[in-house]
């Protein structure tokens, strides 16, 4: 009879799914030698090699393929059982896996803190990644819930809007448009824009809006982070379209203005997404209910009304 531990199976599943010892270690928040040790112990217990590493590539052996097909579903079922038992005991505990796009870093900590305080037995693994990486995780069903601004088309998913995500046009405070009260959208076609990488939610939105107006979008520069874009705008390199949530924690260097453009802000929403038909764990459902009842934790402070542009 084999004596295989749950830890060994979880380690094997991660390596087999990610095809990488280092990525498995990163996901499990352990060192790579720890992952290698668990796989070695599993190999010794089974008596057959399960993984082969050629160079930096990891491949499943025939035995490994059979074990992976078995343990992936089993681990998911076992995880739900553990959390159901905890719920029956009246204790909310377990592990919650959330993947979120990078812009959510401006507001997610404000709800995760109170959630952890209310449910100290729940361990949260939050992965903050770009949109492409998040969609990759979604298709692999690696997490319990996914937070993003534009749910993907063509995938079988369930999505629920939970928070407004207004998009605003930013300009350097010295820009001539910064002092105007009503700017026609058509005037933006003459301005260069600093944009996120292709595939990002805000990039998809700005391309769609310009297309709907039948106007060209002049892209001067692509940058991979909202912080870099704000610095580029402050430096006078162009305008930008960003989520207003990226501004809520700014001190006030007074280098950037939110332009008063007709039709703006564009109100989108942040969504909680999961694969269609996914059976949520007790912990994931607990977090969803907490999120729905604590939206005030995420809402930015109301700005006082003013006729001029808002500087940040």
**Residues 137 and 200 occupy one common structural domain:** no
Kindly state whether residue 135 falls inside one of the protein's structural domains.
Answer: yes
Q: Phi first, then psi: what are they for 301, rounded to 5°?
A: -65, 140
Average pLDDT along the chain, 312 residues, taken 10 residues at a time = 82 89 87 91 88 85 88 74 66 80 86 88 87 90 90 90 91 92 92 90 89 93 90 94 77 75 90 89 86 68 40 42
Which domain CATH number covers 135?
3.40.190.10
**What is the per-residue pLDDT for 299?**
55
Show the DSSP H helices in 140-258 as ranges: 201-212, 226-234
**Residues 177 and 261 occupy one common structural domain:** yes
**Residues 159 and 279 occupy one common structural domain:** yes
Kindly state whether residue 78 falls inside one of the protein's structural domains.
Answer: yes
**Residues 179 and 256 occupy one common structural domain:** yes
**Residues 201 and 59 occupy one common structural domain:** no
Please state the domain count of the chain: 3
267 by DSSP, 3-state: which? strand
**Residues 255 and 181 occupy one common structural domain:** yes
**Any bridge partners for residue 258, and if so which?**
170, 310
**Residues 223 and 282 occupy one common structural domain:** no
What domain range is 288 assigned to?
91-163+269-297
Shortest CA distance to 145 belongs to which of 117, 125, 165?
Answer: 125
**Residues 258 and 273 occupy one common structural domain:** no
Structure tokens at 109: 């900590």
Kindly state whether residue 209 falls inside one of the protein's structural domains.
Answer: yes
Whether the CB-CB separation of 234 and 158 falls below 8 Å is answered with no
Cα dihedral 208, 210, 213, 214 sign: negative
Which domain CATH number covers 77?
1.10.10.10
**Residues 263 and 171 occupy one common structural domain:** yes
**What is the per-residue pLDDT for 274?**
93
The pTM for the full model equals 0.65
**Residues 67 and 137 occupy one common structural domain:** no
**What is the per-residue pLDDT for 296?**
62
**Residues 30 and 14 occupy one common structural domain:** yes
Kindly state whether residue 1 falls inside one of the protein's structural domains.
Answer: no
Conformational region of residue 136, where left means phi above 0, alpha means psi within -120 to 50, and beta covers everything else:
alpha
Strand ranges for 55-208 from DSSP E: 57-60, 94-101, 122-129, 145-148, 157-172, 192-195
Shortest CA distance to 287 belongs to which of 32, 114, 49, 166?
Answer: 114
**Residues 146 and 275 occupy one common structural domain:** yes
């Amino acid at each position: 009879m084999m004596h295989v531990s749950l830890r060994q199976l979880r380690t094997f599943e991660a390596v087999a799914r990610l095809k990488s010892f280092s990525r498995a270690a990163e996901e499990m928040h352990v060192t790579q030698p720890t992952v290698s040790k668990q796989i070695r112990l599993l190999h010794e217990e089974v008596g057959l090699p399960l993984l082969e590493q050629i160079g930096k590539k990891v491949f499943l052996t025939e035995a490994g393929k059979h074990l992976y097909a078995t343990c992936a579903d089993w681990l998911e079922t076992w995880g739900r059982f553990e959390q159901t038992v905890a719920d029956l005991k009246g204790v909310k505990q377990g592990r919650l896996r959330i993947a979120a796009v990078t812009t959510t870093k401006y507001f997610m900590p404000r709800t995760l803190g109170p959630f952890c305080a209310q449910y100290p037995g729940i361990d949260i693994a939050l992965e903050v990644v770009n949109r492409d990486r998040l969609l990759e995780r979604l298709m692999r069903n690696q997490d319990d819930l996914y937070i993003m601004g534009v749910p993907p088309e063509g995938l079988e998913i369930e999505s629920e809007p939970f928070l407004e995500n207004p998009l605003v046009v930013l300009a350097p405070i010295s820009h001539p448009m910064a002092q105007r009260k009503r700017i026609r959208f058509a005037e933006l076609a003459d301005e260069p824009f600093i944009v996120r990488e292709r595939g990002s939610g805000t990039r998809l939105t700005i391309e769609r809006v310009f297309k709907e107006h039948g106007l060209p979008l002049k892209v001067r520069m692509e940058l991979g982070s909202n912080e870099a874009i704000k610095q580029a705008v402050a430096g006078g390199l162009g305008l930008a379209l960003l989520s207003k949530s990226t501004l809520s924690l700014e001190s006030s260097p007074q280098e950037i203005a939110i332009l008063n453009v007709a039709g703006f802000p564009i109100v989108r929403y942040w969504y909680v997404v999961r694969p269609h038909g996914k059976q949520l764990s007790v912990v994931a459902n607990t977090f969803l209910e907490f999120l729905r009842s604590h939206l005030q934790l995420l809402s930015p402070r109301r700005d006082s009304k003013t006729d001029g542009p808002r500087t940040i």
